[in-house]
């Protein structure tokens, strides 16, 4: 039995061990082991040159990581909280995302940017963001989000092995909960979706922290619901999404992010374009609202809840 945080830690450990070119950099990741302790013990094991406590400057962290990559390193960046990635947004979007393109394939960007994301921990402002759509909207970036410990352990290693920049979103409210065991090998490729629970009546599509919420909803529901863990947000594993929805004929997307132009919008659009005649009901979305993330004491009213999901299921099945 392990936790999601421990599982990423052991995945990072294995990656550092396997390849001397792998480096970790970020704020407070060395001596402290990160504010969530995800990198705990790694500086002790691999030294200050490979697990780097960086100055407090996100743009600098990502920008210098790009330079290290040009020099042949594979760099894993930790952004301390989702809300603090924005100072680095320029380096990510105008530089990391385009380098392969701008060099006509001569310079890849084997960078992983780990970001704890999502709400549910009762935090103050800027500590509960769901910024995935910004990154999915940027050509050149790949975006993944594990939902459980075993996936997190394997996906972090796959992301580090990837020749492209990967935004690695970690569901922070699931970090320290008991997370099951780590499978002996990767359950799927980095960009594969997975059926977390099979069912016949409707498909709940989710990623990161919302997968568990959907599993809870499936358990509570009178219907036989399928839960699809998207795992990869860019690219999306469309064949798996289509296969599931073609079977259940109904889809509900669940995301913590605000509604407008979230990943759920793309999922709904594509399902309507490509699967319109196989579906019995329009794709529904259960999302955050189009407001900045609320103060801690109101977050339960904002986050997709089991009740809101079940309500959407009812609407879908009565359509």
Ligand X SMILES: Cc1ncc(C[n+]2csc(CCOP(=O)(O)OP(=O)(O)O)c2C)c(N)n1
Q: Which is nearer to other proteins, 123 or 281 (CB)?
A: 123
Residue 55 interacts with, from ligand X, other proteins, none (CB under 5-8 Å by kind):
other proteins
Q: Which of 17, 18, 19, 31 is the binder for other proteins (CB under 8 A)? A: 31
**Residue 150 — φ and ψ, nearest 5°?**
-65, -45
CA distances 166 to 31, 130, 234, 235, Å, are 25, 16, 9, 11
Nearest-approach distance from CB 57 to ligand X, in angstroms: 8
Residue 83, interface with other proteins (CB under 8 A)? yes
DSSP 111-158: EEEEEEE---S---TTSS---HHHHHTSTT-EEE---SHHHHHHHHHH
Best CA proximity match to 309, nearest among 266, 256, 252: 252
**Per-residue mark of binding to other proteins, 50-69 (x: CB under 8 A):** ---x-xxx-xx---------
219: partner contacted, choices ligand X, other proteins, none (Cβ within 5-8 A by kind): none
* Sheet (strand 111-117) strand order: 51-53, 22-26, 74-78, 111-117, 166-171, 142-144, 232-234
Residue 260 partner contact from ligand X, other proteins, none using kind-dependent CB cut-offs of 5 to 8 Å:
other proteins
By the criterion CB under 6 A, which residues form the site for ligand X? 27, 56, 58, 80, 84, 87
Judge whether 127 counts as a catalytic residue: yes
Report how far residue 170's alpha carbon sits from residue 26's, in angstroms, rounded to the nearest whole number. 15
CB 230 within 8 A of CB 193: yes
If one counts every other C-beta atom within 10 angstroms of the C-beta of residue 123, the result is: 17
Residues in the chain: 319
Q: Which is nearer to ligand X, 53 or 201 (CB)?
A: 53
Within 277-316, the residues that bind other proteins by CB under 8 A are: 289-292, 294-299, 301-302, 307-308, 311
User: Is 84 among the residues that bind other proteins (CB under 8 A)?
Assistant: yes
For the chain, the maximum distance between any two Cα atoms, rounded to a whole number of angstroms, is: 59
Catalytic residue among 126, 127, 137, 191: 127
Instruction: Give which of other proteins, ligand X, none residue 71 binds (C-beta under 5 to 8 Å, depending on kind).
Output: none
Residue from 17, 47, 126, 280 touching other proteins (CB under 8 A): that is 126
Active site amino acids? 127
């Amino acid at each position: 039995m392990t936790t999601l945080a421990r599982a990423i830690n052991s995945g990072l450990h294995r990656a550092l061990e396997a390849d001397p070119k792998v480096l970790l950099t970020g704020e407070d990741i060395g001596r402290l082991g990160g504010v969530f302790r995800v990198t705990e013990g790694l500086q002790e094991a691999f030294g200050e040159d490979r697990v780097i406590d960086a100055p407090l400057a996100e743009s600098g962290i990502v920008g210098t990581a790009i330079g290290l990559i040009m020099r042949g390193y594979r760099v894993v960046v930790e952004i301390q909280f989702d809300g603090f990635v924005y100072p680095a947004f320029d380096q990510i979007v105008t530089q990391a995302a385009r380098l392969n393109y701008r060099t006509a394939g001569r310079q890849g960007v084997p960078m992983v940017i780990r970001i704890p994301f999502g709400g549910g921990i009762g935090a103050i402002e800027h500590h509960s963001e769901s910024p995935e759509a910004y990154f999915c909207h940027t050509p050149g970036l790949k975006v993944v989000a594990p939902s459980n410990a075993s996936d997190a352990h394997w996906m972090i290693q796959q992301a580090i092995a990837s020749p492209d920049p990967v935004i690695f979103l970690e569901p922070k409210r699931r970090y320290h909960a008991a997370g099951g065991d780590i499978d002996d090998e990767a359950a799927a490729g980095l960009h594969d979706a997975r059926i977390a629970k099979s069912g016949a009546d409707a498909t709940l599509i989710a990623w990161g922290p919302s997968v568990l919420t959907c599993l809870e909803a499936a358990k509570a529901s009178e219907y036989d619901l399928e839960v699809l863990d998207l795992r990869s947000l860019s690219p999306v594993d469309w064949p798996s999404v289509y296969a599931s929805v073609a079977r259940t004929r109904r889809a509900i997307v669940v995301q913590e992010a605000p509604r407008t132009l979230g990943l759920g919008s793309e999922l709904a659009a594509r399902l309507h374009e490509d699967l319109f005649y196989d579906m019995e009901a329009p794709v529904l979305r259960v999302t955050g609202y189009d407001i900045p993330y609320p103060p801690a004491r109101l977050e339960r009213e904002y986050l997709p809840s089991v009740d809101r999901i079940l309500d959407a299921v009812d609407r879908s099945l009565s359509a």
